[in-house]
Amino acid sequence: MKENRLNAAFLIMEGVYNTEFTAPYDIFQHTQYREHITAMNTFTVANTLEPITTFEGLRILPDLDYTTDSIPPIDILVIPSAEGHLNTDLKDTTMLSFVKKVATSARLITSHCDGAFVLAEAGLLDGVVSTTFPSDIETYKKRYPQLTVMDSVLFVHDDKYITSAGGAKSFEAALYVCELLYGKKVAQDIAKGLVISWNLEEIPHAIIP
């Protein structure tokens, strides 16, 4: 990893969904092609160095094992949705502890689709406005009745947490991060390079003061 960059870590596990992983990865990795900004190192972390199989069958080789490796300081933690995020993954205390530890020092924590369930289970969204995958909003509200949940937006930014509806709209949440960090022009240039139409004012979202 190159020095003088922001470290963007992607937490992956068995059954991770392709789009929620690759959409923000594409956006963040493309910061490396912009001049005069502090670009991002993009890398994956998992509880193994063995290949991870996504829900759709793609095999990914993790860069770092957070249970054994020395992890560099993480500026941005990305939690893509995975098949077990509504059940089995929420019982993984080692993973939840890792997320909580990273949250103490990370600049931004982003979730896509049901990745919000991981943040909520870790107790990180108490007092924070959030959202998740539209079809799972009611399940989310019932499991975490203490949370304030928005269901008519594509993403919510509250404090250091950015939670998104996921799916193909994971691109929008990631572009928002770029606009937040680097400004509108850089975000638009990254979007243009990936043939994405980007205008924050046209995206249903919420930024909590």
For residue 170, the model assigns a pLDDT of 98
CA nearest neighbour of 110 among 130, 127, 139, 94: 130
For residue 154, the model assigns a pLDDT of 98
Mean pLDDT, residues 17-38: 98
pLDDT tens-digit readout, 166-190: 999 999 999 999 999 999 999 999 9
Neighbour tally for 175: CB within 10 Å: 25
Rounded to whole angstroms, the Cα distance separating 201 from 101 reads: 34
Contacts of 206 (CB under 8 A, 6+ apart): 129, 150, 153, 155, 156, 157, 158
Contact, 7 vs 76, CB < 8 A?
A: yes
For residue 66, the model assigns a pLDDT of 98
For residue 63, the model assigns a pLDDT of 99
Query: What type of residue sits at position 74?
Result: I
Percent of the chain with pLDDT over 70: 100
Strands (E), the chain: 6-11, 40-46, 52-53, 59-60, 64-65, 76-79, 108-112, 129-130, 148-149, 155-158, 161-164, 205-208
Q: Which two tokens stand for residue 180?
A: 């937040």
For residue 28, the model assigns a pLDDT of 99
| All domains of the chain in start order, with CATH | 6-208 (3.40.50.880)
Mean pLDDT, residues 194-205: 97
Q: What is the pTM of this model?
A: 0.97
Rounded to whole angstroms, the Cα distance separating 123 from 197 reads: 35
pLDDT tens-digit readout, 49-87: 999 999 999 999 999 999 999 999 999 999 999 999 999
For residue 127, the model assigns a pLDDT of 97
For the chain, report the end-to-end CA distance as a whole number of angstroms: 34
